[in-house]
Structures are given as C-alpha cells and as structure tokens.
Amino acid sequence: MVRLISFALKPTITGDLVTLRPVSADDAADLAAVSPETLRLTGTHSGPFSLDELRAWYGSRAEHADRLDLAVVERSTGRWAGEVVLMNLDPVNRSCGFRILLAGPEWFGRGLGTEATRLVLGHAFDLVGVHRVELTVYAFNPRAQHVYRKIGFVSEGIKRQALLWDGEWVDAELMSMLAPEWASHRGTPDGAAGQDG
C-alpha cells in the first residue's frame, strides 16, 4: 500500500541561531522589504506585490498541505530574517522542492542559512517521511552552492540558460538529497563540525 505524506502539520522548530515557525500575514511587511540582492540571487522576476497581496499570500499558507512555509527568525533578537519553504510535494513519490531566502546582506554569512536548511531537512526526512528533496541554484550564487554542498546536496546536472537576468543567460544547477543520505550524515557529510543539535 502506498503511504501518502503531507505538509499539513505546520511546526515550530528551534535551533541554536534560528527558530523556524509558520509564516503569518504579519510577516508580509518583512517579505515586502526583501533586498534587491536577494531577489537577484533567487532569480525572482515576479512582483512587486502590494502589502495586501503579500498578507493574503502569507495568511493563506496554513491551508496548503502540499507545502510548508516557515519564517526564519533570529533567536537572539526575534527578528524575521527570511523564509524557508518545502513545496511541490508529490505525496506518492515522497518528493518535494526546497528553497530558502534570507532578507538581505546583513543576514548573509552568519550561519543562519546553514542551520535553517538542516532544521527543515530534519523535519522533512525524519518526521514527514520525505524520500527526496530537490532544489535549483543559479550559477551566480556561489555562497548558496557552497552551503548546499556542505550540507550534502548532490549535483544532478545543469539546466542550461534557465534564467534571463539583466540581459544575461544564467545556468541553474539541479541538486537533491535522498533520505538514506540524510540518515547517514544528517546534513554534515564532512563530519560533526557545525552540526545542529
């Protein structure tokens, strides 16, 4: 019998640096203020959206069992630092997509993204029973590529010229992690340094 999985449960997950908690309409102003650099690195062409549209978007995420939208909140300050999302759940094949954004350069390079990614992967693999998590990362984003490799995502190939940004074609790398891989390293394939929890 096929075991169907779901993201209906919207958890709060606490790490050392960040807390991940369900997004709410009240986060919309922070989402609206995401930096141009973050929009570039995520290849975001859509928008700008009004505050009401963003409130409606965040306010309705709890209704969707095929995705999990969590705010990344810095524990020491309680500030909204970004979001991490598991989406496009295929409940039969137990696969989903992953994406993350921190709001801007003030947040980059402080370990929040690494920890948030490990925390949400732990939820996906250990609690939900996901088998495969995939992502794409653009060639002009070496920081994100480094973080994903460090955590144990495996490259599956290049989607050539997948993004047109400022008149330039940009390749996208497809990466994935499988449940047995997560079970073997829990996001630290090179050893225990930096492991959460």
What are the residues binding ligand COA (CB under 6 A)? 38, 41-42, 82, 100-102, 108-114, 137, 141-144, 146-147, 150
Do 58 and 31 touch, CB atoms closer than 8 A?
A: yes
Question: Which is closer to ligand COA, CB of 63 or CB of 76?
Answer: 76
Q: Is residue 51 a contact partner of residue 11, using CB atoms and an 8 Å limit?
A: no
Q: Is 85 helix (H, G, I), strand (E, B) or coil?
A: strand
Question: Least distance in Å: CB of 63 to ligand COA?
Answer: 25
Tokens of 72: 């990344």
Assigned token pair, 48: 């700008």
The DSSP 8-state label assigned to residue 13 in this structure reads E
Comparing CB distances to ligand COA, the nearer of 23 and 147 is 147
Please state the closest distance from residue 8 (CB atom) to ligand COA, in A. Answer: 26
Question: 75 or 110: whose CB is closer to ligand COA?
Answer: 110
Choose between 62 and 134: whose C-beta lies nearer to ligand COA.
134
Q: How far is the CB of 109 from ligand COA (least distance, A)?
A: 4
Q: What is the nearest approach in angstroms of ligand COA to the Cβ of residue 98?
A: 9
What DSSP character marks residue 27?
Answer: G
Pick from 184, 171, 107: which is nearest to 142 by CA?
171
For residues 58 and 98, which CB has a smaller minimum distance to ligand COA in the complex? 98
Which residue's CB atom is positioned nearest to ligand COA?
113
Please tell me the total number of residues recorded for the chain in this structure. Answer: 197
Among 61, 64, 177, CA closest to 130: 177
Smallest gap from residue 75 Cβ to ligand COA (A): 14
